[in-house]
Amino acid sequence: QYFILLIITDGVITDLDQTRTAIVNASKLPMSIIIVGVGGADFDAMEFLDGDNGVLRSSSGEAAVRDIVQFVPFRKFQNSPKESLAQCVLAEVPQQVVNYFSTYKLQPPNNPAAK
């Protein structure tokens, strides 16, 4: 099984070090984290968690095994078609799933619908 955690927030992170450590630990698990920022808050810390600009590290310096976070500021899409938001929110999930299976040299499960 592979899990996707969707977080919708209207605020900023107040415990950035703990959050970074939790994400680095979660990067070993079969999961992705999608964060949608709603409202006018300063979401720079959320952008930092989205490892697109380099490897995310915990406060102790441990590097994330893989990028599992996608941050999307809703305000950039509030006047766009809903498909645009959905496309951006889900854009990195396929590659994150592939990266998980590749990192641990796992074969995708058989399609249960085919039985």
Q: What is the pLDDT along the chain (115 residues), one digit of tens a residue?
A: 899 999 999 988 889 999 999 999 999 999 999 999 999 988 888 888 887 778 999 999 999 999 999 999 999 998 999 899 999 999 999 999 999 999 999 987 776 665 5
**Token digits of residue 31:** 């999961």
- Domain ranges in the chain are 3-104
Q: How many CB atoms lie within 10 A of CB 41?
A: 15
> Where does 1-115 show beta strands of DSSP type E?
3-9, 31-37, 69-73
pTM of this prediction? 0.88
